[in-house]
Amino acid sequence: MKTIVFPKVSGKNLKREKLVFPKDFPAKYNLVLMAFYRHQQLDINTWLPYAEQLEDKFVDVKYVELPVIYKLGPIRQFLLNEGMRAGIPDQKARERTITLYLDKALFFKKLEITSEDEIQIMLVTAEGKVLWRETGIFSKEKASSLTELLQNEKFLLAT
């Protein structure tokens, strides 16, 4: 299998902090939940309980939400970010939601994303190596696949 590496991209979280990925991923292993349209937040939400369970079970796993949006001017970016910020009062959620404004075609090419019709879910190392990926809403089968990988890789279990 060809190794896919998360490209260097930057964005601001909803606490207005600038982050550069993959350097600023929060953990050794990162569950990356990517949406491309506002309505896809509902699909992302189907993964959140499982993502939180992973954080509790595995000490080296954290999750981030990355809304991926085409490049906009600074004023439009500010307005969109502040609109999202107003809708998410939880500080932890604001910290882990980082909006990426970028050349979507190039980003998709580097990650071998063929469609933005469904959300993308990836397990990415701190160095950017994509270890696992899936698309669409949460299912037990998808979760089992990721949990099995984490357990087979002998990840440290949280105590």
Tell me if residue 91 falls in helix, strand or coil: helix
Residue with the larger pLDDT of the pair 26 and 87:
26
Contact 104, 74 (CB under 8 A): no
Domain count, the chain: 1
pTM: 0.89
Tens digit of pLDDT for each residue in 86-100?
Answer: 677 677 888 899 999
Q: How many Cα atoms within 13 Å fall on the side-chain side of residue 47?
A: 30
| CA gap 12, 30 in Å, rounded | 17
Q: Which residue range forms the structural domain that includes residue 23?
A: 9-152
Helix (H) or strand (E) holding 78: helix 74-87
In a domain, 108, yes or no: yes
| CA gap 57, 19 in Å, rounded | 26
In this prediction, residue 2 has a pLDDT band, given cuts at 50, 70 and 90, of confident
Tens digit of pLDDT for each residue in 29-80?
Answer: 999 999 999 899 999 999 999 999 999 999 899 999 999 987 777 777 766 6
In a domain, 159, yes or no: no
In a domain, 20, yes or no: yes
Contacts 24+ apart (CB under 8 A), 115-119: 116/36, 116/37, 116/68, 118/40, 118/43, 119/33, 119/34, 119/35, 119/36, 119/40, 119/43, 119/44
Mean pLDDT of 11-18: 90
In a domain, 28, yes or no: yes
In a domain, 104, yes or no: yes
CATH code (residue 64): 3.40.30.10
In a domain, 1, yes or no: no
**Cα 111 to Cα 5, 66, 89, distances in angstroms:** 7, 14, 31
